[in-house]
Amino acid sequence: MDLLLLGAYILVAALLIAGLAGSLLPLLPGTPLILAAALLHGLVTDFSPIGAGRLLMLAALAALAYVLDYVAGAVGTKKFGGSAWAVVGALVGAVVGLFFGPPGLLIGPVVGAVAGELLKSGEVEHSLKAGFGALVGMAIALLARFALAFTMVGLFLWWLWRG
């Protein structure tokens, strides 16, 4: 094994580990890092045994993780009795939160849900309940994102092992 190939394998392993960590930490893009590891492996092995179909499957799982991030706060808001205004507020808060880094990603949907519900009902207690729902939804999304990342790594390693 030449030095370049060894370096590529080390980078693939590092990307897989960083991807798993990134699925829990808002600083790192977890599932895209795992997808990048699979793509890098494919590039250095002429996409054997990881072909286009398997890469597309990993890409779909990565995309699902991102959709969950944006939708979970809104779903949690609704489950905790938030109005349509609170749900829209949670979605808007998630998008606006992107521009404020990791704290914005955590706080945005909660603030958006509370603000939306305050605009609709004017009731502070009900608004805080909707915001708590957004927080619960985001916590569930975090667990789901980690499960998806773990599944992606598991599939990747299984495909490598099975050939």
**Residue pLDDT, tens place only, 62-116:** 999 989 987 888 899 999 999 999 999 999 998 999 899 878 888 999 999 999 9
* Cβ atoms of residues 134 and 15 within 8 Å: no
Query: How many angstroms separate the CA atoms of 126 and 115, rounded?
Result: 11
Q: How confident is the model at residue 5 (pLDDT cuts 50, 70, 90)?
A: confident
DSSP code of residue 98? G
Rg (CA), the chain: 19
Provide the percentage of residues in the chain whose pLDDT is more than 70.
Answer: 99
Token duo for residue 35: 């997808």
pLDDT at residue number 101:
83
Token duo for residue 115: 């603000």
pLDDT of 1 > 70? The answer is no
Find the farthest-apart pair of alpha carbons in the chain and give their distance in angstroms, rounded.
67
